[in-house]
Structure 1
């Protein structure tokens, strides 16, 4: 992430030179590639993507000027404009066109989208209805840090059922962000138009949870194809699968997330996993890499995590953050179970032993401190504490209490949350992935009321087309790109967890 905690007079904080800080701020990018737009680039442009029902599920953003009075046709990525015409990507096409509502291409696109949704499930139909979306200011205005604000949100044209509109939109957006080769893009614009292994793992898990297994399999096969021989992944990839060479080092948490998502896929569809031979070599390389990486203290080495910043900027720069420890632990447990269930006892025992070492080190170095981001008494909290509990790890009262404390410390007046305590970025901007991670943690842990409250906030702060953005400003306006694939994935997993228990890797 391009924002992170900054020193605030704490005696134990690492002192960083002013020059180093300036260089760091200039170099770092936000989670999922979320950077501020470059000067001279387009404004925060879109309340959502326009698509269609045909392969390769191409999409492009709807300009804000066309958003006033626009709405998606039910269960589709075709947009009805205010004048009654429809904007869509026709079957077999790559670019959006605008046609009359009676054009046969409209019905064909809608039928295709709806048929795809029906191949799996759209979670949320049996849950209490979310509150109506909050009206947006009108006419257009521009946030100092975000997009132009468009019209008041129209009444959603939704697939019937509480929360189902948000879930259907999230699913369709994930499909539009997933390329034919399985590259799952974080979003559509600039520094977001890349595939992060971390985000891709959650997209695969979301497609798995909703029963859209071909898409999940495609994403996992992409990850297997771009993995290095040493078991690692680059920090991010172009849509064609080539690594982005911008100097970012590999990020260890990505290995854990891919292992967890692969295990999750197998729990839901063992036959499809068995028919995907690429999965086992990918699991073996990544799990062996993680197991070998553990030091004498049982912890992995320092690495960038989902904040995507140098370990040197952390409160304890020479120790791994909880944002690395949590995913690595979940990944080793998942890999051990995957190996056990596929008849590979030697690997299962090796990775289980590594997971137990790491679990012991976590209990020793993080638990007594209340699970801060860095192992330091009085260390700052952040959302990565959710990585230790369900659905990534077993229930633990200490972890649950730490999640509640972190959520309180990160809460904003607009109802959202900051990425972490003492956030050095804009302290009025809420981040939707963090809100969704707290929601998923609550849903998977049986705290249904909390999960629904956080889902309600996310539902109220979608764009005018009902799309989940990356950030929300103090006035409730979209403050970054929409859709964001990671948030969409987390919302789908949360809704699924409210309907049925999600599996948890064995400790």
Structure 2
């Protein structure tokens, strides 16, 4: 996520090519604060959602904003009935949308394909309204995931990239809903673009080539990808076993995470989901909780994977690293109430949820900090800001942050709070039901829709309300 917000096949270019790309990235300009994007609708990118057709390659095309009046998805599909009764869809094997009469046989074929795909997994939700939101989120995630496994943040140019952290959550959402082929495809993409050193670029083009724009590799991505790999494994051990490249990817990333810890037990400063330079933080010499939380979750997940694979040496190495980091969190962050930067009076932000369930075992101090952060970040429109003293528009709420608080609540036994946050997200979707990136002071979608990260978090939250999500063991 910006502050204002390859398929590089192994046989086509050895890993040394990817290493060169990473070195170029590191040698570039200092990390930026992310591209500054419009906070509301605008020509060429404002859309209520994506149109699809159910057929490979699951292509998605945005519906024009001026066509949204009276438009609605046909149930269980990404096929749109327009206000005049005609139907917009993407034909099988194509990537451009067409408009046809409602009785065109391609309409029935496309709806049936989408519905069959949904039925191959599960659609979480205890109420019809919940299931409708989950259905839309799943179908949108599928349209955002390219055939090579690149899971895009959204469809518009400045969002039409695969961020490893966002992709990790897409893989996790596919896994918990039983859509394992898609989960494995996303992980395969991430493995292909990983460097020998176990890192990822900040983001990738849909073809898998790294985006070289001055953003340095972001350490939190390693933790999120390892956590997602572990989650996929816990939900489908046999299927994950058919993914031989998964384990080497985890080894490279987890070794990088373990070796990154300094004498205090903390990793180095790095950009996190805010995507801004560490120099802008309250404590530029130490990592934010937005880095520490995913690194800790990744090390614990890697240790558990190693135990399951019968690799006691690696399990012990990564477990010891996680214990060092956990102790460092207790020393540097806990005394101040888990702020973003480990200082007295540190600002609170959403990253406090990264050390709460389902990423870490429940802890009373963390639970209190999550509630404190949510209270301090709540806006008059009912949504939340990403963090205190936010540099962007302070009247605009961000949906990934709201969904992250919902997931923490659902995973910590606060079902009523999770329910209320999900209801807010449901009320602030687009006219087609897509989850936008942001919501303005008047309650209107104020960013691209759909946003893949929010869709993933909503699916994880709805699942957590039905059954507990696994948590990487602390020991």
Asked if Structure 1 and Structure 2 have the same fold, meaning a TM-score greater than 0.5 normalized by the shorter chain, the answer is yes
The DSSP-based 3-state class of the residue aligned with 2:406 is: helix
How far residue 258 of structure 1 moved from its aligned partner, in angstroms, is 0.2
On the 8 A contact 1:208/1:268 being kept in 2, the answer is yes
| C-alpha separation in 1, matches of 2:32 and 2:408 | 31
- How many residues get paired? 450
Q: Which residue of 2 aligns with 1:173?
A: 140
Instruction: Report if aligned partners of 2:141, 2:456 keep a CA contact under 8 Å in 1.
Output: yes
* Alignment correspondent of 1:123: 124
Name the CA distance, whole Å, in 1 between partners of 2:58 and 2:137. Answer: 14
Q: Deviations over 1:200-251 (max 9, x none)?
A: 0000000000000000000001000100000000000000000001111000
Asked whether 1:28 is paired with 2:33, we answer yes
C-alpha deviations, 1:475-497, integer Å up to 9, x for none?
Answer: 11111100000000000000000
SS in 1 for 2:129: coil
Q: 1:37, CA displacement in angstroms?
A: 4.3
Q: C-alpha displacement at 1:41, in angstroms?
A: 7.5
C-alpha distance in structure 2 between counterparts of 1:105 and 1:52, whole Å: 9
- C-alpha distance in 1 between matches for 2:61 and 2:54: 13
Which of 182, 197, 215 is the matching residue for 1:215? 182
Q: Counterpart in 2 of 1:429?
A: 396
- Taking structure 1 as the reference length, the TM-score comes to 0.87
1:262 alignment counterpart? 229
Tell me how large the CA RMSD over aligned residues is. 1.7
- 1:81 alignment counterpart: 82
Taking the aligned partners of 2:233 and 2:140, their CA distance within structure 1 comes to 24
Q: 1:301 to 1:414 in 2, by over 3 A?
A: same
Conserved? CA contact 1:90–1:96, under 8 Å: yes
1:398-437 aligned at under 5 Å gives the runs 398-437=365-404
What is the rounded CA distance, in whole Å, between the counterparts of 2:211 and 2:248 in structure 1? 23
Check if 1:314 corresponds to 2:281. Answer: yes
Q: CA deviation at 1:390?
A: 0.5
SS state at 1:163 partner: helix
**Separation in 1, partners of 2:381, 2:184:** 38
The whole-number CA distance in structure 2 between the counterparts of 1:424 and 1:279 is 38
User: Is residue 2:463 matched to residue 1:483?
Assistant: no
Residue in structure 1 matched with residue 201 of structure 2 by the alignment: 234
* Aligned equivalents of 1:311, 1:410: Cα separation in 2: 21
Write the deviation string for residues 400-439 of structure 1: whole angstroms up to 9, x where unpaired: 0000000011000000000001112101000000000000
Equivalent pair of 2:429/2:435 in contact (CA under 8 Å): yes
Unaligned 5+ residue runs, structure 1?
5-23, 128-160
> Could you say if the C-alpha distance between residues 27 and 355 of structure 1 is closer, same or farther in structure 2, counting changes exceeding 3 Å?
closer
Tell me what 1:340 maps to: 307
User: Is the aligned partner of 1:244 residue 2:211?
Assistant: yes
Alignment correspondent of 1:16: none
Q: Report what 1:495 is aligned to.
A: 462
Q: Deviations over 1:447-495 (max 9, x none)?
A: 0000000000000000000000000000111111000000000000000
CA distance in 2 between counterparts of 1:356 and 1:319 reads: 18
**CA displacement 1:80-110 (0-9 Å, x = unmatched):** 0011000000111111000000000000000
Q: Distance in 2 between matches of 1:370 and 1:81?
A: 51
- Cα pair 1:204 1:216 within 8 Å, conserved: yes
Equivalent position of 1:387 in the other structure = 354
- Distance in 1 (CA, whole Å) between partners of 2:3 and 2:330 is 28
Write the distance in 2 (CA, Å) between the matches of 1:37 and 1:26.
21
Query: 1:438 aligned to 396, 399, 405, which one?
Result: 405
Is 1:397 aligned with 2:364?
yes
Structure-2 residue corresponding to 1:350: 317
Contact 2:32 2:277 in 1 (8 A): no
Alignment of 1:182-221 (within 5 A): 182-221=149-188
1:157-206 residue CA offsets vs partner (Å, 9 max, x unmatched): xxxx2311110000000000000000000000011000000000000000
Contact 1:260 1:331 in 2 (8 A): yes
Residue of structure 2 in register with 1:9 after alignment: none
**Structure-2 separation of matches of 1:44 and 1:240:** 21
Secondary structure, counterpart of 1:87 in structure 2: strand
Quick check: 2:31–2:215 contact (8 Å CA) kept in 1? no
- TM-score under structure 2 length normalisation: 0.93
